[in-house]
Structure 1
Amino acid sequence: MIFNTSPTDIIKIRRSVRTYTKKAVEQEKKGIMREVLDNLRGQYFRFDLIDFQLEEGMKLGTYGMIKGASTFIIGILNKELMDDYDAAVEFGYAFEGIILKATELGLGTCWLGGTFNSKDAMKMIALKDNEQVVMVSPIGYGGNIRGFEKLTRKLSKADQRKPWKELFFHKDFNTPLSIKEAGPYADVLHMVRLAPSASNKQPWRILKSHKTYDFYNVNMPTPSNKKQKFMMSFNDMGIAKAHFDYVANEKGLKGQWLKKDDIKDESFTYVGSWEWHNEVEDTH
């Protein structure tokens, strides 16, 4: 993903927007977004952009509190991978890149797990037999935050984030990572802390060990309904990885993603590790 603005600045200004004005998204911006959607499609998922007028009182997916939206980004996944956490992580990484690019263009968005409760909208997406919509985001121009918007932000805990000491650790999960120990990665982790997540649960935990930052997902039950079985907490892990990756790259912190094969923990699911390549002294 190529940004023309600092990813850190984009992350800082991104907000979930649930109330939209009647101003339409310009064709030029739609063209940019369609190119981004095409570039970020994966082997098992793709994205679409549709114009659909959300009628008054019509619910949208799992979380229905959206008003005034008329353009939507659609995330589509192969049905066979609905319970595959690696696919969910990869999907979340890609979708967050889309969200941040829209933010850079001055457009509001809002992550919504689920699908349209409208046959007309679903016809526009033209799903294949082996595909299912797993994520939707309105895209457009947000209005002023009024009573409705304030209420939905409060219900979703959109303005709350867990403290640093509950998310980032050093050597073991009993020892919080200090900002000093994070060194050049402190700002990177600050931007991970700002990442959006379903119901703002922030399921990621990051453990610094020698030369790596190891990403773990807090084990949470998955929905029993197969139609909603897409693994949201692992989708959130992909969002966190995207923030880490974009900001590390912005700051010139070179490294690579890898998976260790000797990590097991009953409370967490290991997702992957960032191994840094910089000549940075690490005595911890």
Structure 2
Amino acid sequence: MNIENIKARKSVRTYNEENISPEILEKIGEFIKKADNPFNIPIELRLLDANEHRLSSPVIIGAKKYVAGKYKKQINGEVAFGYSFEKFVLYATEIGLGTVWIAGTMDRKAFESAMDIKEGEIMPAVTPIGYKADKRSIRENIMRKAIKADSRINFDKLFFKNDFNTALNENEAGKWLIPLQMVRWAPSGVNRQPWRVVVEGDKIYFYEKRTKGYERDNVGDAQKIDLGIALCHFDIATREIGLKGHFYQDNPNIATPENTEYIATFGLGK
């Protein structure tokens, strides 16, 4: 995975009838065995056949294969899942397959049965995999327009310098500019973009800005999953441009706005 995969990847809800070759399916099977994340939380991903398991989603057309994931409920589980699952999504992009994160609009009972969900386990999301159709369906075009899928919150509303009172603009971002741009373009549930980031020298603090009225249900805090996606993008970008660092838990002495929760720190040389 690289920055070009992040830039190229778009949600695909309409697929053609072309089958994925056994060779590609084998590559996917090998990749999903290595679903890692900075929190070292085990994430199990499975390749599922839509016909065999009777899998469906009212927003998906033409998908024959899905990848779903699960984990045992625990602290940072949602963030870890978001990181690991997005890493697969970007791998799928790299090998020419379309994907889209689906958390609610699916036959959840069928997917959970196919994933053999046990007590204490959570299956937050799935994605179809396949080759995108030449044209999007009318339904997909309506959905993309409704959530403004190709728009993003302004850079200086997402990223801050030293504290939440000082906005960071792109001209001041320095070595962090490209990784932060990749965070900004990360996908999120209903395009809410709940990540907020404070840059303090060689430390980057990631926060979740919870959306008011955003429901939490038995799949966990969906917006923490979005933070995991953002961390994945940031990590890939820093590695590609040669910034060597790691994610870890910290206790930043930064006053936070309402409904804002610290998630993780990225530090150089850690």
| RMSD (CA atoms) | 2.5
- Separation in 1 of the partners of 2:249 and 2:175? 22
- For residue 150 of structure 2, the aligned residue among 145, 159, 164 is 159
Instruction: Provide the residue aligned with 1:282 in structure 2.
Output: none
- Separation in 2 of the partners of 1:185 and 1:245? 11
Look up the SS of the partner of 1:76 in the other structure. Answer: strand
Moved more, 257-266 or 193-202: 257-266
How many residues are matched? 263
Look up the SS of the partner of 1:172 in the other structure. Answer: coil
Query: Shift of residue 255 of structure 1?
Result: 1.5
Residue 150 and residue 72 in structure 1: after superposition, are their counterparts in 2 closer, same or farther (change >3 A)?
A: same
Query: Shift of residue 68 of structure 1?
Result: 1.1
| Residue 216, structure 1, aligned to residue 207, structure 2 | yes
- The one-letter code sitting in structure 2 at the alignment partner of 1:112 is I
Does the 8 Å CA contact 1:116/1:122 hold for their aligned counterparts?
Answer: no
Query: Shift of residue 165 of structure 1?
Result: 1.1
Query: Shift of residue 116 of structure 1?
Result: 4.5
Query: Shift of residue 258 of structure 1?
Result: 2.2
Instruction: Provide the residue aligned with 1:12 in structure 2.
Output: 7
Look up the SS of the partner of 2:66 in the other structure. Answer: strand
Does the 8 Å CA contact 1:218/1:269 hold for their aligned counterparts?
Answer: yes
Does the 8 Å CA contact 1:192/1:243 hold for their aligned counterparts?
Answer: yes
| Residue 254, structure 1, aligned to residue 244, structure 2 | yes
- Separation in 1 of the partners of 2:162 and 2:190? 29
Once the two structures are superposed, what CA deviation does each residue of 1:13-54 show, in whole Å capped at 9, x if it has no partner?
A: 100001111111111111111111110066443110111149
Percent of aligned pairs with the same amino acid: 33
- The one-letter code sitting in structure 1 at the alignment partner of 2:44 is R
Instruction: Provide the residue aligned with 1:29 in structure 2.
Output: 24
- The one-letter code sitting in structure 1 at the alignment partner of 2:166 is T
- Separation in 2 of the partners of 1:146 and 1:222? 28
Query: Shift of residue 222 of structure 1?
Result: 5.7
| Residue 272, structure 1, aligned to residue 264, structure 2 | yes
- For residue 189 of structure 1, the aligned residue among 174, 177, 180 is 180
Instruction: Provide the residue aligned with 2:166 in structure 1.
Output: 175
Query: Shift of residue 260 of structure 1?
Result: 1.9
Query: Shift of residue 210 of structure 1?
Result: 2.7
Once the two structures are superposed, what CA deviation does each residue of 1:34-81 show, in whole Å capped at 9, x if it has no partner?
A: 11111006644311011114999x862xxx311111100101122x43
| Residue 87, structure 1, aligned to residue 77, structure 2 | yes
Query: Shift of residue 219 of structure 1?
Result: 2.8
Query: Shift of residue 123 of structure 1?
Result: 3.9
From the two aligned structures, give the one with the greater strand fraction: 1
- For residue 61 of structure 2, the aligned residue among 56, 67, 78 is 67
Query: Shift of residue 153 of structure 1?
Result: 1.2
Query: Shift of residue 115 of structure 1?
Result: 7.7
Look up the SS of the partner of 2:96 in the other structure. Answer: coil
Does the 8 Å CA contact 2:12/2:99 hold for their aligned counterparts?
Answer: yes
Does the 8 Å CA contact 1:115/1:133 hold for their aligned counterparts?
Answer: no
